[in-house]
Structure 1
């Protein structure tokens, strides 16, 4: 009872303010012209506010990973295949492979932390062979995935590694600086998805769209030499 008595002044004040706002316009004033219409209007307004904030919290929780969509097992999302992707390419010595993973872990964990930008630049200058990443544009035509078990899902990580390696071996970068390196193979191509996570070799048969590489993404790839 004491709780109700404490809340009553606030509820009465909110009710008075609600009525005052609706009374300012002729087309909303009719909604509160008697007790019944006023009660219905207030109930509908309260339901709208509750539903609005429920939806905001529900979808925000799904977006940041606090919980999952309640009907995900019923309505399964079919990924749209990756039609084209931009790849930023650089070269690293095999002995520095773990340093590369540390670099991308730091980049993933603090994408907006400007205090770490200096550290990232220093680590990048230390491990990357090229001063700047070289960006390539890869398109995937039906010929690239028509023989896959599920061609509607597009190309695979394995195919992307092969395309990146083939482009590198035919590039002026390889011709000028690494022509003597003939032993580079697709397993020496590190691929990072749009979440800056490394796509491991055991996901080679996975489709791009299922490992967070989607149409138009800009991703990184590192050649180990």
Structure 2
């Protein structure tokens, strides 16, 4: 065991020495036994540290282990100042097709082969020929009541603002009925993923809804 370790050290020493001697500039770094020891020590230390960092962060990226200080340095969501909402209306009987539409939309972002199917499916489910685009800005009164107002508005608050707009607008008068509520508002983030009602208390930026995003919302009637 000891002899194997000695052989490895000798091989490393020979490799480093040969590499440094191949260049006139680096050759001066091993001109004396002392300088050679210091140089090799620094090189080996650097390689060990770099290897550790690569393995450590690769493991975090691959979810093999967690960041050691995740409880100390927590990720802070960015305040969402305003968003653009594309609004449309869908019959509740077509809810499953609507979810199918957004799964397809998410997967077809870079695949033109799905675009025709996406348009056909959209024509079947949406009650309006086109989405109507609205701009929502968030002022302090939209989030000052939250536990952490510095993080901005919540998903539920945005959902309620959308429903209020829908309810008060004459554009959607043919779809109005007393049984509708904000629970009938579907919301999708910037990844075309549905933001469920279970995420209602979360801040917008925690659900991939960020400042300036254009996102879809559907009212089920």
Same fold (TM over 0.5): yes
In structure 1, the partner of 2:102 is 104
1:216 and 2:218 are equivalent in the alignment: no
Is the 8 Å Cα contact of residues 13 and 40 (structure 2) preserved in structure 1? no
Q: Secondary structure at the match of 2:77?
A: coil
Q: What is the alpha-carbon distance in structure 1 between the residues aligned to residue 9 and residue 131 of structure 2?
A: 62
Deviations 1:136-167 (A, max 9, x none): 33221101111223322321111101222334
Q: Indicate the residue corresponding to 1:79 in structure 2.
A: 77
For residue 173 of structure 2, give the secondary structure of its aligned residue in structure 1.
coil
- 1:129 to 1:84, Cα distance in 2 relative to 1, 3 A: same
Structure-1 separation of matches of 2:7 and 2:55: 30
1:40 counterpart residue number: 38
- Is 2:173 the partner of 1:179? yes
User: Quick one: distance in 2 between partners of 1:132 and 1:57?
Assistant: 50
Q: CA RMSD in A?
A: 3.7
Alpha carbons of 1:48 and 1:186: their partners in 2 closer, same or farther (altered >3 Å)? same
What is residue 197 of structure 2 aligned with on the other side? 201
Aligned partner of 2:142 among 144, 151, 165: 144
- TM score, norm. by length of structure 1: 0.72
Q: Give me the whole-angstrom Cα distance separating, in 2, the residues matched to 1:46 and 1:133.
A: 61
> Which segments of 5 or more consecutive residues in structure 1 lack a partner in the other structure?
none
Alpha-carbon distance, 1:52 to partner: 3.3
Q: Aligned pairs, how many?
A: 217
> Equivalents in 1 of 2:53, 2:175: separation in Å?
56
